[in-house]
Amino acid sequence: MQNLNHLNINPDEDISPFIRGKIHIIQKKDGYRFNVDSILLVSFVNISSSKKVIDLGTGSGVIPILLNLKFKNLKLYAIEVQESMYSLAERNFKLNNVEVDLKLVDVRDIKTVFQNQFFDCVITNPPYFISKDYSSNQYVEKSEHLATFEDFVKSASYLLKNKGKFYYIFPVSRFVESITICKSYKLQPKRFRFIYPSVNENATHVLVECLKGGKERGEVVEKPLIMYENPKEKKYTQEVWNLLENFI
C-alpha cells in the first residue's frame, strides 16, 4: 500500500481494509459503499491469465483490484461515467498498486474509446433499480438513472471477441429479463449460481456467465451460494467467510 499523503483523502472519505488487509478501499462516508457483491462476482469469474478484461461502471474500482488478486498478468481496463467515482477508482488503483487503464466515459459511448472485439472478458456489477421505481439519488450507482442494464449488455457484446465471456450479478426478480436481453445481443448464458440469504429463504441474486456466440444447451447451474448460517446474527457461512477473509 502506498503512502497515503499522495492520495488526497477528502474529509467526506475514509479508507477501509478488506480481506485481512490485502486490499484497502477509499470510500465516501455517506452514500453507496463497497459490499460483498463484488467479491462474490469476482470469485465466480473463470478465465485464464494474460487476458484483456474490462469492468464496466467500475465505481470505486473494487472489481479490478480483486481481479488482480485472483489472476496473474491480466491486462485490466475500466470505465466510469461519474467524475467523483472516477477519482475514487483512480486513487484506489494507486493505493493498491494495481495497473488499470481507466477511462472517464459513458458506457453508451464505448465505441469512442475502444475497438470492436478488443476484450476477452467483460465484467460488471450493473445498476439494477429501475429509475422510475427508485427516487433516491444517493445511490445513483445502483439505479438505471444514467444507463440501463441493456446499455451495459450492448456494450459488452460490442467489446467482446467471439467466445469471450461476460459476467454479471443481478437480482433474481429481473433474472429472466436479463437473460432475454443477453441473448438478444448474442451473449448466450452458460453458467449460473443463485445466491440465498439462508437455507430457508428464496434466492435474491444470481451470478451469470455468458459466452459471446455460444450455443444453447449444456448450461450449468452450480450449487447454491448460501450467505448466512444465522441471518439474525449475521453469521456468514464458512464459504462466504473464507472469501471475505482470504479470497484466494
* Tens of pLDDT, residues 9-42: 888 889 999 998 999 999 988 877 778 999 999 9
Q: Assign 143 a pLDDT band (cuts: 50, 70, 90).
A: very low
**pLDDT band at residue 141 using 50, 70 and 90 as cut-offs:** low
Q: Provide the pLDDT for residue 135.
A: 47
pLDDT at 137: 45
Answer whether 66's CB lies under 8 Å from 58's CB: no
pLDDT at 115 over 60: yes
pLDDT band at 131 (very low <50, low <70, confident <90, very high): low
What tens digit of pLDDT does each residue of 195-244 get? 999 999 999 999 999 999 999 999 999 999 999 998 888 899 999 999 99
How would residue 145 be classed by pLDDT, with cut points 50, 70 and 90?
low
Mean local confidence (pLDDT), 158-184: 97
What pLDDT digit, counting tens, does each position of 44-81 carry?
Answer: 999 988 899 999 999 999 999 999 999 989 999 999 99
Q: Which percentage of the chain shows pLDDT scores above 70?
A: 90
pLDDT at 230: 86
Give the separation between CA 24 and CA 2, rounded to whole angstroms.
10
The CATH number for 62's domain is 3.40.50.150
Rounded distance, CA 139 to CA 129, Å? 10
Residue 12 gets which letter from DSSP? T
- Number of domains comprising the chain: 1
The answer, yes or no, to whether residue 142 has pLDDT greater than 60, is no
User: What cell was used for 236?
Assistant: 456468514
What is the per-residue pLDDT for 33? 77
**C-alpha span between 73 and 37 (Å, rounded):** 24
Domain that holds residue 216: 4-245
Nearest to 38 by CA among 178, 207, 164: 207
Q: What pLDDT shows up at residue 248?
A: 65
Mean pLDDT of the region 95-110: 97
Burial class (CB in 10 A: 0-12, 13-18, 19+), 77: buried
DSSP state of 1: -
Mean local confidence (pLDDT), 102-131: 92
